[in-house]
Each structure stands twice: as structure tokens, then as C-alpha cells.
A and B are shown apart, each in its own frame.
Chain A
Amino acid sequence: MRMTLSSVSTHMASYLSKNTVSDTDNSEIYAYGLEILLGAIIKLLAILVSAWLLKSLSATLVVLATYAALRCFGGGAHMSTYFKCLLVGSTIIVCLGRLSHITLTSISLQYLAIVAAVSAFVICLKWVPGDTAIKPIRDRSICLGQKIKMSIMILLWSYTVLHLIQLNLNTFALAMILGCIFAVFLITPWGYRLFELIDKYVLRGGENNDNEEVCYEHSCSSTCINCRNRN
């Protein structure tokens, strides 16, 4: 039997379900919660260990925190399996953390931050929330709410980056800029397309649902917000 995060979670959930006092069978919900929790812990450990080995732990943590904060409200492209997610996500975040050690002048960083902020606002207006086939977001009020939350996050991000540049903490400022660029890129159709290409052609295999109706524009469900905005 192939051991996946899902199968491990299901086994643990059924054990938990047998040993808890409940009127209904919640094993499905426990399995889902465990899959989220274990997935996050494993991924965090993989990123921390890789970043520590590459001697860029602090910058990688800044990239990760920025990426996670923007991703939480903005959404974006997803890989189809946990293994692919772990491999691609961890690699990109650790590489960005390492890349943050490049020496740039404060002026260059300021220009880069301004370009990133303007792009992030445009992407926020046009494509947030970046939903998926598993969890399509159709409600107009939820979409508007996510746009507002994302705009606030971008404002906070801009303020923090400019403050870090003023304090001459250029490595952390660049880490925040790279984290933001990565997060907002994955909300765009090009981000979806890139993840789709990696998913289908670079990392083959996994548990894709071939019967699912897929939007060719960004590999998500054809009812996604991006498609609706175009129609």
C-alpha cells in the first residue's frame, strides 16, 4: 500500500475516532484536520532544515512569513499532490531566502518595492481571490472581502518594507519583496499556468482528478473567479 499523507491521516483519524466520546462519526473531519496539520508541520520542518543548512534561516523565515500572510488572503495556484507541494514550495521558498542575501543598494530596493507594491495592487484588484477547483469562491461579498483584506496586507507589507530599508536591513527587505512577488505571481493566470506545467510535465504522477472540469487559462475549475471576471 502506498503511504501518503492522506492515508496516514485517515488511519490516525480512525484510531482517534474509536477513542473519543462523540455521538457522530467525525473521523472524516479528524482526517482532514490531521492532513492540514501534519502537512504544515512537515513542510515547515523541511523549509527550516534546508534554510539552516544553506545558512539563510532568518531571511527564509521572512520570505515564508510574507508569502504565507499574502497567500492566506489572496489564494492562488495549488499543486495537485502533497509531495509536489512539499518539493516545489520548499525549494522555491528556500531559494528565495538564499537569494535575499544579494547585496542591493537602498535606492534599488525602494524602486523594487514600489514596482512590487503597484503590481500587487493591480493583481489584487483583478484576480484576488485566486480560488481552486476544490474550493471555488463564488460569493461576490466574500470576493470583495478578500480583496479588501489583501489590500490591507499589501499596505502593511509596503510600510514594513520601506521601514526595513530605512533601518538598512536590506536583506530582510529583499526577502519581503521576493516573498510578495512569489505570492502575488501565483494569483495570476501565469502563476496557475506555471504550476500546471510543473504539475503535469515536470513532476509526473500523483492523484490528479482527470474528470474534473479544468479551466485552460489557469488550471482551476471553470467556475473560478478569474473566469467569471473575464466573461
Chain B
Amino acid sequence: MNTLAAALVLIAGTGISPNSWFIAYEPRIPESLKR
């Protein structure tokens, strides 16, 4: 569970980078991840 959680935090980190890998839709960025 902890490994999965760490992987999800990593994926969430890629979601906020400018090199986004969303193809045509992007979810709302959570407040805690906004800089």
C-alpha cells in the first residue's frame, strides 16, 4: 500500500510539470500540489 501511495505521489508530480502526458483531458490539480 505504501509503495502504491508513493508511486501515485510520483505520478501526481508528473501531472503538474509542463511536460504533461495527458492526451486530451487533464484533471483539476489539487490545492496541495499547486505552487
Contact = CB atoms under 8 A, between A and B. Distances in A.
Interface in B1-21: 1-2, 4-5, 7-12, 14-16, 18-21
A31 interface: yes
A108 interface: no
B11 A22 contact: no
For chain A, give the interface size range. 35 or more
A202 interface: no
For chain B, give the interface size range. 20 to 34
Given A21-B2, A135-B16, A36 B22 contact: yes
Contacts of B18: 75, 129, 135, 137, 142, 145-146
Which 9 pairs, one residue from A and one from B, show the smallest C-beta to C-beta distance?
A85-B25, A33-B8, A33-B12, A28-B30, A33-B11, A89-B24, A85-B24, A35-B27, A20-B5
29 contacts: A16-B5, A17-B5, A21-B2, A28-B30, A30-B9, A30-B12, A32-B27, A33-B12, A36-B14, A36-B15, A37-B11, A40-B21, A43-B23, A67-B23, A71-B23, A72-B19, A72-B20, A73-B19, A77-B24, A78-B22, A79-B24, A129-B18, A134-B27, A134-B29, A135-B26, A135-B29, A137-B18, A145-B18, A146-B18
Interface of A: 5-6, 13, 16-17, 19-22, 26, 28-37, 39-40, 43, 67-68, 71-73, 75, 77-82, 84-86, 88-89, 129, 132, 134-135, 137, 142, 145-146, 149, 195
